[in-house]
C-alpha cells in the first residue's frame, strides 16, 4: 500500500521561544515569508501525500485558521485590485484539507503519534516534525516513500552528527544496503559518544507501518517521563525490519532561536528577490 497520509506534529509548547510563544504557536513563526508549518505541509504534498493529519494542542487554533478560507481577506484584496496576493491566498486555502487531532497532554512524541491511531487506521503513514526544515532538490519524504515502496518496511531519516552531538539524538546501529540506505540493527536514545553505535542521528522524518501503534501502547515512559518513539521503534524492530535514509540536502533546526535565525538567513540568501541585497547588507555588518 502506498503512503497516502502524513502526520505533522505541532503540539509542543515552544518554551525555548518564550515569551513570544505565550500567545503564538511556534509553528506559525515566519521562515522568510511563510510560517514553519507550511514548509512541512508542502513537503508532504510534493511527496505524493494526499491527506494531512495535524496533531495540535490548546492555543494552536491559528494554524487551523491559516489553512482555512478567509472570505473577508479575499474580498479586501479583490477590492484593492491586488490580484496576485488574492491568488496566493486562495491557493493556500485550496492547497489541502487538514484533519486536526488534539494532544490533550504533553507526554512526548510517541504519545502524539498514538493520538492519531484511529484516523490513520491500518495503513502506512509519514510523520513530519516541522522544526526540521530539510532543503533538498527532491523532497526528503519523497525519497523515503520510495525506500518504503522498495523494502516494504518503516523508514527513518538520519544524518551524520558530530561526536559531541550524539547525546542530542536517537542514534542507530546499522548496515548499509544501498547508497544512503541502511538496515537498522538497533536504536539508542541520546547515547554518550563512547557507546553510540554510529554517528547516524535520527531527524524529524519517519515513514511508519501501523504496527507502530501497538508498540507505542506497550512502551513505558522514558526520558522526561515521556513516551519516546525511539523506544517504540526498538520494540518494533524485534518484529519487523526497519530502514534508514541518509538524506541529501541541508537540515535547519528551527526549534531554537539561533537555529531559526540561521534558517531565515540561509533560505533568504537563496531567493533571487532578496538574496543579493541581503548579502550586501551582511557584508556591511561584518
Other C-beta atoms lying within 10 Å of the C-beta of residue 19? 6
Other C-beta atoms lying within 10 Å of the C-beta of residue 20? 11
Give all domains of the chain, ordered by start, each with its CATH number. Answer: 5-255 (3.90.550.10)
pLDDT at 71: 84
- Cα(7)–Cα(127) distance, rounded to whole angstroms? 5
- Cα(177)–Cα(243) distance, rounded to whole angstroms? 9
Q: What is the pLDDT along the chain (286 residues), one digit of tens a residue?
A: 899 999 999 988 888 888 888 888 899 999 999 999 999 999 999 999 999 999 998 888 888 888 888 888 888 888 888 888 888 888 877 878 889 999 888 888 999 999 999 999 999 999 999 999 999 999 999 999 999 999 999 999 999 999 888 988 889 999 999 999 999 999 988 888 888 899 999 999 999 999 999 999 998 887 677 888 888 999 999 999 999 999 999 999 999 999 999 999 999 999 999 999 999 999 999 8
pLDDT at 78: 82
Return the CA Rg of the chain: 20
**What HEC string does the chain produce?**
CCCCEEEEECCCCCHHHCCHHHCCCHHHCEECCEEHHHHHHHHHHCCCCCEEEEEECCCCHHHHHHCCCCHHHHHHHHHHCCHHHHHHHHHHHHCCCEEEEECCCCCCHHHHHHCCHHHHCCCCEEEECCCEEEECCCCHHHHHHHHHHHHCCEEEEEEECCHHHHHHCEEEEEEEEECCEEEEEEEEECCCCCCCCCCEEEEEEEEECCHHHHHHHCCCCCHHHCCCHHHHHHHHHCCCCEEEEECCCEEEECCCHHHHHHHHHHHHHCCCCCHHHHHHHHHHHC
Q: What is the pTM of this model?
A: 0.92
pLDDT at 82: 82
User: Per DSSP, what are the bridge partners of residue 186?
Assistant: 173
Biggest CA-to-CA distance, the chain = 64
Burial of residue 156 (CB within 10 Å: 0-12, 13-18, 19+) is buried
pLDDT at 176: 93
pLDDT at 24: 87
pLDDT at 147: 96
Amino acid at each position: 500500500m502506498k503512503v497516502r497520509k502524513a502526520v505533522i506534529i505541532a503540539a509542543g509548547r515552544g518554551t525555548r521561544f518564550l515569551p513570544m510563544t505565550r500567545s503564538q504557536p511556534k509553528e506559525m513563526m515566519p521562515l522568510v515569508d511563510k510560517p514553519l508549518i507550511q514548509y512541512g505541509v508542502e513537503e508532504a504534498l510534493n511527496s505524493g501525500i494526499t491527506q494531512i493529519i495535524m496533531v495540535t494542542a490548546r492555543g494552536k487554533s491559528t494554524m487551523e485558521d491559516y489553512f482555512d478560507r478567509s472570505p473577508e481577506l479575499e474580498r479586501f484584496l479583490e477590492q484593492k485590485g491586488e490580484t496576485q496576493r488574492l491568488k496566493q491566498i486562495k491557493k493556500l486555502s485550496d492547497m489541502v484539507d487538514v484533519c486536526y487531532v488534539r494532544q490533550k497532554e504533553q507526554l512526548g512524541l510517541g504519545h502524539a503519534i498514538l493520538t492519531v491511531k484511529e484516523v490513520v487506521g491500518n495503513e502506512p503513514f509519514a510523520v513530519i516534525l516541522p522544526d526540521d526544515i530539510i532543503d533538498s532538490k527532491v523532497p526528503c519524504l519523497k525519497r523515503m516513500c520510495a525506500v518504503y515502496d522498495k523494502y516494504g518496511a518503516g523508514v527513518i531519516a538520519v544524518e551524520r552528527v558530530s561526536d559531541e552531538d550524539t547525546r542530542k539524538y536517537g542514534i542507530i546501529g546499522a548496515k548499509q544496503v544501498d547508497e544512503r540506505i541502511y538496515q537498522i540493527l538497533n536504536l539508542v536514545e541520546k547515547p554518550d559518544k563512547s557507546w553510540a553505535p554510529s554517528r547516524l542521528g535520527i531527524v524529524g522524518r519517519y515513514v511508519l507501518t501501523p504496527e507502530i501503534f501497538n508498540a507505542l501502547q506497550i512502551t513505558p515512559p522514558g526520558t522526561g517521563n515521556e513516551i519516546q518513539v525511539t523506544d517504540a521503534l526498538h520494540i518494533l524492530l524485534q518484529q519487523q525490519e526497519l530502514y534508514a535514509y541518509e538524506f541529501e540536502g541541508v537540515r535547519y533546526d528551527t526549534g531554537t532561536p539561533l537555529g531559526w535565525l540561521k534558517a531565515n538567513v540561509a533560505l533568504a540568501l537563496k531567493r533571487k528577490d532578496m538574496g543579493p541585497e541581503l548579502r550586501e547588507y551582511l557584508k556591511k555588518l561584518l
